[in-house]
Amino acid sequence: MPIAILSEHTDLAESVRSFVKRVAPSEVLHEALENPIPNPPTYWKGASEQGLQGVHLSEDVGGQGFGILELAIVLAEFGYGAVPGPFVPSAIASALISANDPADKRLEGLASGEVIAAYALHSTLTATKQGGGLVIRGEVRAVPAAEQASVLVLPVAIDGGEEWVVLDADQVEIEAVASVDPLRPVAHVRANAVEVADDRVLSNLSRPLARALITTLLSAEAIGVARWATDTAAEYAKIREQFGRPIGQFQAIKHKCANMIAETERATAAVWDAARAIDELAEKGAEGSAFEFAAAVAGTLAPAATLHTTQDCIQVHGGIGFTWEHDTNVYYRRAIVLAASFGRAADYPQRVVDVATSTGMRPIEVDLDSDTQKLREEIRAEVAALKAMPSEDRTTAIAEGGWVQPHLPKPWGRSASPIEQIITAQEFSTGRVKRPQMGIAAWIIPSIVAFGTNDQQQRFLPPTFRGEMIWCQLFSEPGAGSDLASLTTKATKVDGGWRITGQKIWTTGAQYSEWGALLARTDPSAPKHQGITYFLLDMKSEGVEVKPLRELTGNAMFNTVFIDDVFVPDELVLGEVNRGWEVSRNTLTNERVSIGGSEPPFLASLDQFVAFLAEGHFDQIEQHEAGRLIAEGHAAKLLNMRSTLLTLAGGDPMPAAAISKLLSMKTGQGYAEFGVSSFGTDAVIGDQGEASGKWAEYLLAGRATTIYGGTSEVQLNIIAERLLGLPRDP
């Protein structure tokens, strides 16, 4: 999924993608490996006619008047095409000048494409004051596109600080040097007592903002490269055959490709948020640290993603991927140069930690249009009325008002649109009005609404919404966990109902539950996904025995449930007989979305992890690892947010939700592993009164998170097959 979510951004991405395909096909890329790139490149005029050089620049200087998010969308598409030449460096340089002064007349030539610029992230340039200006001396190494540019935007040490200064190329010495990526030429720049006026100093451009801009825009190009590598590997895995079948059918290849898209999606979410943070900073006209945190997250994740995916793309292609003629050569070289362009990789996780533990992480909020204010006021008034009720009446009013799961159709919900659901959640939170917690029932309720009879709905839904009826899910069996369709619990038809015998396992909260959602096989002769029926089981029925299953934590959240010739009347069949798989798919879909969208209470949360870091003392190696974990955890939350926004935009939220579930559970385990390892020998202390004991509990409990709700391995299969279209296992 590209950066774009909104329709206008999707249109922009598609337009640029079409342009890139036209001007930078594979043969053009390979020609650029062997021959110098024309200056300006052959596509330059076409890009300027389309307004691409000035998409982010003010209309006052001839630009299109959009922001950094739109520029990031453009650069991601240029990354996807590995477009040769100075487009990306020039765009970054113009963004730096514009951040200092959007009306700077020097931007006019950049917006029109008449001027090419270059930038640098680091330098040894120093300046001394002389008269009404500066004298600059020193060197900047490996400046991208320096030889092609007529304007250079370079960092210079001035009076103990760092400022970006605009120099003309003819003022300095430029020495072209060989680049690992011939499509992205580099050169050393030397200034020998270059005199410049004070107006060449971008004095309104702070060092943090300059670095955030460079980081975010480099990250945008990087995720374009990562997306190409992921798509290309998946497409090859569909057609390349070994041992008589496509290699994409082998789980090793399938999981490699699924991990590629997961890492790319996580980095994409981070870049999207970093670009938005910079745009918000420009709109509000006041600096804060949120944009620094967001950019540091992008800088932690994007260069790693582009390196890992291009390496894996070569691996999936095998020998052909190691040839000069294949495009993998082009993109891996671009990935190496991009990763190097960020400077020291360790700087970004460190910055993540520094900001998170001092001024705090960037809030994850869904901003809604002002035209939703009337709806917000209506919901706020209703929430206030609920809050004013006596507590004994409030719960019933919340349940009967459809507030518990407002997305459900009336009368069980409010038939709420995605926007209304968001506002409802926000207003109940800010109004501090608690809604009954559904637990496992949250996954079962939609199935009863969708498939239940009127009698079933009236009997079960009202008390469940009031929090009075506790449910469990009787799906998994000793021989049917991830492969749920292999279940063997048997239901035999008798007068007035069914006799059911079997065993269920890993049943959360069964010892406290009054009712259970039960799958049993009613037609053993049917294919395994058919002949299954969905029952509603009274857990007090004769023949039901619940035995708590003590986990490695020492607690008993799960249970084994023995079902011995239990009678279930016909009126407790949910949906049609032998069509239970269809009903269970509804339940499982709700389960996976729910798990992906929240942090389990028995696992360390991102906020707890950051608080733990703020209270302790850690060396650089530990802080590097901690910064990576924070970046991954924050980006997983961003994936959930993008899933919500995709729903609002009418898109498919499931790809982001599926990947979020996969990644967030693994990252949550990482928090606990880090916490326990930091205690040294004290980590052996299991006393819950000790800090080490609490983190040890998180560590033990965390092993379950990559198993329940679909193991990570099964989740990787789902991602590979449904998102990348790889062939199913035979």
Q: What pLDDT, on a 0 to 100 scale, did the predictor assign at position 655?
A: 62
For 329, phi then psi, to 5°, come to -60, -45
Question: Rounded to 5 degrees, what angle do the CA atoms 164, 168, 172 make?
Answer: 95
Decide if pLDDT at 593 tops 50: no
DSSP state of 201: B
Buried b / exposed e along 97-130 (16+ C-beta atoms within 10 A):
bbbbbbebebbbbbbbbebbbbbbbebebebeee
Question: Rounded to 5 degrees, what angle do the CA atoms 179, 304, 239 make?
Answer: 90
Q: What pLDDT, on a 0 to 100 scale, did the predictor assign at position 114?
A: 96
Per-residue pLDDT of 333-350, as tens digits, reads 999 999 999 999 989 999
Contact of 329 with 323, CB cutoff 8 Å: yes
SS3 category, 494: strand
SS3 category, 475: coil
The span from the first CA to the last CA of the chain, in angstroms, equals: 28
Q: What pLDDT, on a 0 to 100 scale, did the predictor assign at position 592?
A: 38
Distance CA 51, CA 56 (A): 10
Distance CA 245, CA 239 (A): 9
Q: Per mean pLDDT, which range of 406-415, 480-489, 514-523, 626-635 is the poorest?
A: 480-489
Q: How many CA atoms lie within 13 A of 298 on its CB side?
A: 34
Kindly report the CATH number that applies to the domain delimited by 595-619+631-723.
Answer: 1.20.140.10
CATH classification of 454-591 is 2.40.110.10, yes or no?
Answer: yes
Decide if pLDDT at 595 tops 50: no
Instruction: Report the percent of the chain where pLDDT is more than 70.
Output: 95
Averaged pLDDT score across all residues of the chain? 91
Instruction: Kindly report the pTM of this predicted structure.
Output: 0.89
Q: Per mean pLDDT, which range of 53-62, 130-139, 425-434, 593-602 is the poorest?
A: 593-602
Contact of 305 with 222, CB cutoff 8 Å: yes
Give residue 676's region: left, alpha or beta (phi > 0; psi -120 to 50). Answer: alpha
Distance CA 3, CA 334 (A): 20
Decide if pLDDT at 594 tops 50: no
Per-residue pLDDT of 273-301, as tens digits, reads 999 999 998 887 645 689 999 999 999 99
Decide if pLDDT at 191 tops 90: yes
Largest CA distance in the chain: 103
Distance CA 655, CA 265 (A): 9
Per-residue pLDDT of 302-343, as tens digits, reads 999 999 999 999 999 999 999 999 999 999 999 999 999 999
Distance CA 157, CA 207 (A): 11
| Residue count (the chain) | 730
Distance CA 99, CA 211 (A): 12
Q: What pLDDT, on a 0 to 100 scale, did the predictor assign at position 649?
A: 67
Distances (CA, A) of 17 to 21, 50, 470, 495, 621: 6, 12, 51, 64, 40
Quick one: CA dihedral 638, 644, 645, 649, positive or negative? positive
Distance CA 217, CA 219 (A): 5
Mean pLDDT (whole number) for 248-275: 96
Domain edges within the chain: 7-116, 370-436, 454-591, 595-619+631-723
Distances (CA, A) of 20 to 17, 95, 264: 5, 21, 20
SS3 category, 35: coil
Tokens of residue 157, six digits: 């040490």
Distance CA 476, CA 517 (A): 11
Kindly report the CATH number that applies to the domain delimited by 7-116.
Answer: 1.10.540.10
Q: Give which of 215, 302, 307, 148 is closest to 631, Cα–Cα.
A: 302
SS3 category, 474: strand
Helix (H) or strand (E) holding 497: strand 497-504
Q: Give which of 388, 406, 352 is closest to 630, Cα–Cα.
A: 352
Distances (CA, A) of 253 to 8, 258, 365: 35, 9, 36
Distance CA 604, CA 667 (A): 10
Q: What pLDDT, on a 0 to 100 scale, did the predictor assign at position 574?
A: 97
User: Can you say how many angstroms the Cα of residue 348 is from the centroid of all Cα atoms in its chain?
Assistant: 18
**Regarding beta strands 490-494 and 497-504, do their DSSP bridges make them parallel or antiparallel, or are they unpaired?**
antiparallel
Q: Which of 77, 221, 591, 599 is catalytic?
A: 591
Instruction: Report the percent of the chain where pLDDT is more than 90.
Output: 73
Q: Per mean pLDDT, which range of 170-174, 506-510, 541-545 is the poorest?
A: 506-510
Mean pLDDT (whole number) for 30-55: 95
Q: What pLDDT, on a 0 to 100 scale, did the predictor assign at position 482?
A: 66
Q: What pLDDT, on a 0 to 100 scale, did the predictor assign at position 422?
A: 83
Decide if pLDDT at 600 tops 80: no
Q: What pLDDT, on a 0 to 100 scale, did the predictor assign at position 364?
A: 82
pLDDT band with cut points at 50, 70 and 90 for residue 620: very high
To the query of whether residue 591 is one of the catalytic residues in this protein, the response is: yes
Per-residue pLDDT of 657-682, as tens digits, reads 678 888 988 999 999 999 999 999 98
